[in-house]
Homo-oligomer: A and B are copies of this chain.
Amino acid sequence: MSQIELHPDRLLPTEPSLRGIARRLYDEVAGLPIISPHGHVDPAILANDAPFGDPANLLVVPDHYVTRLLHAHGVRLDDLGVPPGNPVGDTSAREIWRTFCAHFWAFRGTPSRYWLESELVDVFGVSLRPSSETADELFDQLTERLADPGFRPRALYERFNLEVLATTDDPASHLADHQRLTEDPAWKGRVVPTFRPDAYLDPSRSDWAQQVAKLGEAAGIDTKTYDGYIAALEQRRAYFAQHGATASDHGHADAGSTPLDPADASRIFSAGLAGAATADEQTAFRRHMLSEMARMACDDGLVMQLHPGVFRNHHSSTFDRFGADVGCDIPVVAEYTQALRPLLERYGTHPNFRMVLFTTDEDVYSREIAPLAGFYPSVFVGAPWWFIDTPDAILRFRAAVTDTVGFHKTAGFVDDTRAYCSIPVRHDMARRLDAGFLARLVAEHRLPEDEAAETARDLAYQLPASTFRLT
């Protein structure tokens, strides 16, 4: 069928009695404002409020969920305009769009298809299903929509019913776009930065010394010494907090958190700057710095998000040619119980500390994350992330963690997206799935429907707001 039809009961359970309950629960939350506490939207989009470009550069080029699967089916990344903003090939937007549409069959059953179809209908009001036949007409229809002032970022912010949107930012950033928004009397929304210091904490990076120098410059503190480096990080965290940040984000290779004693830390720091640290020392320093981030979080209250366990840039020649974030990151096994113990021994019951654990290794949910969040007041269960941010995996996640921690130590849905226009459909998806999960508990007589309804509202709105200290 060439027309997309969005059924009102999509993603809800199919058994009629379950679906009835799920529909009622979904109706409770469908219209709630969106709290987006973790994502990768560029704040300049909202600061500038310029029209989005063409459909390909909006919906295909920057979405590595899409480009990776096209690449898996033999499409060259050169022909997809990757990387965004600095394309390696010289393919026109219309050609990219045609390639995407011609491969739309490859997305059957994936959340990318679900999100894209929902966006086309709900956000852009077009209903042609992408295919070789419809590619050009769809390109033209979308181009027309994007030229309309009603499709500018700020107008969409209102239409999406966004209440707060967190971005992810470089600690050396002066957050100029955030500041422009705050100072703009016409802007009524709320966009907050997130402190993402990975590049400054990992001496194994080839550019680490430059990063540390850049950090010092931003902070106005000499970072040639370990003490200066620590002070600069503290200064930048404070700067971010002053500019509205409520959280930091950490994407290390693993969750190791063993602290070093200060003399060792200082020695490895200097060796690292000089390019003389061994691989083991680099790893030890990175883990030490995770512990340091937790220590600072006890002081400044930034909620610590941990996203470990993804092998970045698995295919070197793709990385060398196209850069990071084009789809060749692959998860590895995760381990939290032992890795986080040093950190939790120190800060796990600190009243001001809070940590949200994410994983792409599903086995960890029932085995480690739920038990950790079910004991430590500081630990919260993060929503399924990246590869498992999908209808079936979200239901598996709820089934895996609820038995051990219930609902109220889970952090609420995070969209984790750089695709601004997909935000409402992603949150809507999560609300539908949680309604379906709760409906089963009601139908199995494990939870009264009034408590399920309250829980649905908590999951959709209260928990992301309170967990990420956004209230």
Contacts and interface: CB of A to CB of B under 8 A. Distances in A.
Given A110-B402, A362-B363, A11 B371 contact: no
B387 A392 contact: no
A104 to B, nearest CB: 10
Given A9-B445, A11-B444, A393-B366, A337 B330 contact: yes
Nearest to A452: B108
A407 interface: yes
Contacts of A7: 445
User: How big is chain A's contact interface, by range?
Assistant: 35 or more
A361 interface: yes
Contact of A12 (B74, B111, B329, B444): B444
Q: Give the copy number.
A: 3
A444 B407 contact: no
B73 A409 contact: yes
Q: Which of A111, A338, A404 counts the most chain B CB atoms within 10 A?
A: A404
Nearest to A439: B14
Contact of A10 (B73, B331, B363, B445): B445
Contacts of A451: 105, 108
A131 to B, nearest CB: 11
Contacts of A311: 337-338, 341
Interface stretch (A83-91, A120-128, A210-218, A373-381): A373-381
Contacts of A331: 337, 367-368, 371
Given A337-B330, A404-B110, A406-B108, A377 B446 contact: no
A72 B444 contact: no
A196 to B, nearest CB: 22
A391 interface: yes
Contact of A315 (B5, B13, B376): B376
A15 interface: yes
Contacts of A443: 14
A466 to B, nearest CB: 12
Contact of A455 (B5, B108, B110, B379): B108
Interface in A83-111: 105-111
Contacts of A13: 444
A446 B109 contact: yes
Interface string A286-316: 0000000000000000000000000100111
Interface stretch (A35-43, A228-236, A343-351, A413-421): A343-351
Nearest to A16: B17
A114 interface: yes
Interface of A: 1, 5-7, 9-18, 68-69, 71-74, 105-111, 113-114, 311, 314-318, 327-333, 335, 337-338, 341, 344-345, 348-349, 360-363, 366-368, 370-377, 379, 387-388, 390-393, 396, 399-400, 402-409, 440-441, 443-448, 450-451, 455
